[in-house]
């Protein structure tokens, strides 16, 4: 079984308005997932450097970031980062450019985790419903065009407030949603903005939103997680 998680870390800024990457790592260690998709993992201005220092990951976590070769100071692409356990094998990785008025992107990687090769897509979609649907179409088209098929998990902050409409309808044609709990706003979670979606060759064994003292302070979103069984 493979445990995955998705977390909008709000640029590392918690409810106390302090930027604290160590607190984000504490939450991730509590979840202890094999693969993690982060959103808003870059600073907003300047060189848009990654919020979590590389040395902190190397010294204080079991994960390594997947490189997409886009910005030297950022781990990922437009704030999207994929982390995998240090013993995982990265088979391929690429950034996905998304149509948007403001900078948006998604990231995709093929990794071998616990002996199984899987495809992982991390994303943070637009606030506009029309743009979200265009972005969902771009991601689905990109994945569909891959020559090699693999069990696939897509996860991230979809910014979709509806229960089943909008981009959820687009993703739901070929992917099943893990029934995770509401993740936003962390003070009183009522919205399932964060989602984990899996191809039909995955079975969701367990899933949820991660509630802890640290996760209720570290960001404005709760992280979500799922335990998956490949077919």
pLDDT at position 48: 67
Give residue-wise pLDDT tens across range 162-189.
Answer: 988 999 999 999 999 999 999 999 999 9
Least confident of 44-48, 120-124, 215-219: 44-48
- Asked whether residue 17 carries a pLDDT value surpassing 80, the answer given is yes
pLDDT at position 102: 73
- Asked whether residue 111 carries a pLDDT value surpassing 90, the answer given is yes
Q: Please tell me the pTM assigned to this model.
A: 0.95
Give residue-wise pLDDT tens across range 62-89.
Answer: 999 999 876 656 788 889 999 999 999 9
User: Both tokens of residue 210?
Assistant: 């991660």
The span from the CA of 115 to the CA of 150, in Å, is 13
The span from the CA of 155 to the CA of 6, in Å, is 6
pLDDT at position 231: 81
User: Both tokens of residue 58?
Assistant: 């190397």
% of the chain with per-residue pLDDT over 70: 96
Which class for 103: exposed (0-12), middle (13-18), buried (19 or more C-beta within 10 A)? exposed
Average pLDDT of the chain?
Answer: 93
pLDDT at position 104: 83
- Asked whether residue 46 carries a pLDDT value surpassing 60, the answer given is no
Give residue-wise pLDDT tens across range 134-159.
Answer: 999 999 999 999 999 999 999 999 99
CATH number of the structural domain spanning residue 151? 3.60.10.10
Domain holding 35, by residue range, is: 2-230
Tally of structural domains, the chain: 1
């Amino acid at each position: 079984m493979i445990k995955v998680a998705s977390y909008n870390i709000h640029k590392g800024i918690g409810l106390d308005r302090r930027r604290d990457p160590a607190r984000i790592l504490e939450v991730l260690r509590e979840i202890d997932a094999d693969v993690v998709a982060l959103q808003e993992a870059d600073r907003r201005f300047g060189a848009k450097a990654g919020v979590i220092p590389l040395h902190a990951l190397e010294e204080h976590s079991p994960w390594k970031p997947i490189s997409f070769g886009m910005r030297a100071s950022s781990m990922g692409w437009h704030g999207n980062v994929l982390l995998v356990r240090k013993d995982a094998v990265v088979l391929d990785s690429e950034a996905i450019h998304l149509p948007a008025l403001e900078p948006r992107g998604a990231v995709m990687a093929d990794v071998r985790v616990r002996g199984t090769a899987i495809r992982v897509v991390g994303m943070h979609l637009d606030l506009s419903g029309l743009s979200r649907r265009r972005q969902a179409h771009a991601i689905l088209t990109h994945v569909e065009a891959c020559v090699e098929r693999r069990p696939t998990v897509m996860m991230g902050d979809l910014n979709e407030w509806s229960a089943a409409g909008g981009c959820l309808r687009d993703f739901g044609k070929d992917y099943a949603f893990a029934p995770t709990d509401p993740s936003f706003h962390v003070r009183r979670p009522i919205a399932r903005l964060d989602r984990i979606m899996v191809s039909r060759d995955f079975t969701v064994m367990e899933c949820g939103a991660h509630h802890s003292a640290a996760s209720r302070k570290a960001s404005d979103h709760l992280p979500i997680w799922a335990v998956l069984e490949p077919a």
